[in-house]
Amino acid sequence: MADGNFSDWKDKLLFWSVTALVGGSITFNGWVTVRLLATPTIDETRTMIETEAPYNKDKKLVDAQLQRLAFVESKFSEVISRNTDAINALRVELAGLKSK
């Protein structure tokens, strides 16, 4: 194997095995390095959650809808109260007309 020629299948197997192991270890080390460098820190993660999470946008939308619903509910209860007063007044008038 010193002159570049393989004398038998064992030399070929050894050469390709070593080549595959070296290539695999280089690839794995590169992947681990990139993975570790690309992972955000805890502070970066907290900042991203506070500023970029879709939950925050949805939360603002939900809050606006809840405020709108509270306003509409207060208006409805006011209208229902007035309608109840009007119905009671009509009942009094009807009772007065029936008694005549």
Residues 25-77: tens digit of each pLDDT: 999 999 999 888 888 888 988 888 888 877 777 888 888 899 999 999 999 99
Distance CA 89, CA 95 (A): 10
Distance CA 6, CA 44 (A): 54
Task: Return the percentage of the chain with pLDDT > 90, whole number.
Answer: 41
pLDDT at 67: 93
Distance CA 86, CA 79 (A): 10
Residue 6 pLDDT greater than 80, yes or no: no
